[in-house]
Structure 1
């Protein structure tokens, strides 16, 4: 592999790949996650960049990004005042301009070695490449409770009816052709946990197959998902997604929860 680009080279050329990190009150996990991601990207033989979306945080998440030291991988901040991972990912993808774009979770639960495989698939012509914990070659460390596992099984069954042939819609490791990512993000209307289902379903609607790749995934502490608090809302979100996908396509307009004059939320 060619040597890593110098600081000047890495920051003067436009990125070929931009990666979004949605972050809500991630002051404890974000520094380590950013360090891992930037170290991985700095070893790649092409320019990259990272966008951290501060999703209505009330802690020092935004300060961490603003104070991040300059290096071969530029890191910039976007603000998304609307709570919800879907809203944050939408804002982040709309803030990209690179030929390829994607997003990962702040905890880096998915081993970043999968980036090499994902980017190779994109270069070969695939337009949607996602990590799948259900892939037969994946290695998954799972410490979830029995109740959460049952909830996940039910969710997969419902999601499978909307995105057929995809075994894991929720792994926080997804990469796209940049143009497709921005087109689909503009139509995304699900601000919460189930946004991945709508995002993938709209990609399929655009004629793009979803390629699932194996990952090494580690169950990280600090997850905010609670079956008791979130299950009912997620079922409602899936129902709304089903209705939206059945509706006649219309010109993209900002969702009702987004300020129309500031769709990305500049830092």
Structure 2
């Protein structure tokens, strides 16, 4: 079903995680060079991340199609995803977290289990489905629960359709991703919720699929500060999409 793929990695100060990622990319035999591209979006890192990616690209340019987007000021994950999606050229676009909390083979698992349907245009990986396998530390569970409580407080979860908006493993048809992200205005973590609302408003066919997810140390989320920021932006989204949500 997936004949070609663009894989997008948004990143900010990830020098300690990149070597592991590079090793996993080199192991991939799922797609040949002409059918796959890996897009790194350096979101204003001030560590060695950018140089490491450049070195990796230089050493592997004959075997791996690597593209780099970089800018000086940190803008947020949503902004980085938009940059990557607008550059993507393949038929499908996969967004992934650079810590590989969900690994590359998840896509193959979805295909083998025949979860991918030609009529569906977007797939959200979900840690909250019964057949998902999740290995998370207690504080990460607390962070996720806080966010879900906030989300449930502001939105009717049934209208959102999706249980887990924040899992970074998402698959889009290229033309759909470009159409929806062009309309996106949220640059931070709440971008995922805005994208879901835009997909629903435009009646895009989407599905939520189980993942094998493993917690990785090094999260940059501050439970107190980021929860307050998320609350503010979720309220803004509620006001922005309220007319649509009432009509659903």
* TM more than 0.5: yes
Q: Determine the C-alpha separation between the residues in 2 that align with 1:179 and 1:149.
A: 31
Show the counterpart of 2:67: 76
- Correspondent of 1:62 among 35, 50, 53: 50
Q: Label 1:149 to 1:193 Cα distance change in 2 as closer, same or farther (>3 A).
A: closer
Q: How many residue pairs end up in the alignment? A: 233
Q: Determine the C-alpha separation between the residues in 1 that align with 2:25 and 2:127.
A: 20
1:97 aligns with 2:86: no
SS at match of 2:129: coil
- String of CA shifts for 1:206-255, please: whole Å, max 9, x gaps: 2113211111110100001111121110011112222333579xxxxxxx
- String of CA shifts for 1:146-173, please: whole Å, max 9, x gaps: 7425413314425753762201000010
TM-score norm. by structure 2 comes to 0.85
How far 1:93 moved relative to its partner?
Answer: 0.8
Show the counterpart of 2:123: 129
Report the aligned-residue RMSD: 2.3
- Correspondent of 1:88 among 80, 93, 98: 80
- Correspondent of 2:21 among 22, 28, 33: 33
Residues 122 and 177 of structure 1 are in contact (CA less than 8 Å); yes or no, is this contact kept in structure 2?
no
Q: Label 1:201 to 1:118 Cα distance change in 2 as closer, same or farther (>3 A).
A: farther
TM-score norm. by structure 1 comes to 0.79
Alignment of 1:107-122 (within 5 A): 107-118=99-110
Show the counterpart of 1:17: 5
Q: Label 1:226 to 1:208 Cα distance change in 2 as closer, same or farther (>3 A).
A: same
Residues 102 and 173 of structure 1 are in contact (CA less than 8 Å); yes or no, is this contact kept in structure 2?
yes
Alignment of 1:168-207 (within 5 A): 168-207=164-203
Q: Label 1:59 to 1:94 Cα distance change in 2 as closer, same or farther (>3 A).
A: same
Residues 12 and 74 of structure 2 are in contact (CA less than 8 Å); yes or no, is this contact kept in structure 1?
no
- String of CA shifts for 1:76-132, please: whole Å, max 9, x gaps: 110243421111111111111221112100000013221124566556231111110
Q: Determine the C-alpha separation between the residues in 2 that align with 1:157 and 1:234.
A: 13
Residues 35 and 90 of structure 2 are in contact (CA less than 8 Å); yes or no, is this contact kept in structure 1?
no
- Correspondent of 1:235 among 226, 231, 236: 231
Show the counterpart of 2:40: 52
Residues 95 and 169 of structure 2 are in contact (CA less than 8 Å); yes or no, is this contact kept in structure 1?
yes
Q: Label 1:197 to 1:158 Cα distance change in 2 as closer, same or farther (>3 A).
A: farther
Which runs of 5 or more residues in structure 2 are unaligned? none
Q: Determine the C-alpha separation between the residues in 2 that align with 1:63 and 1:25.
A: 11
Residues 200 and 210 of structure 1 are in contact (CA less than 8 Å); yes or no, is this contact kept in structure 2?
no
Q: Label 1:160 to 1:115 Cα distance change in 2 as closer, same or farther (>3 A).
A: farther
SS at match of 1:171: coil
SS at match of 1:22: strand
- Correspondent of 1:144 among 138, 152, 166: 138
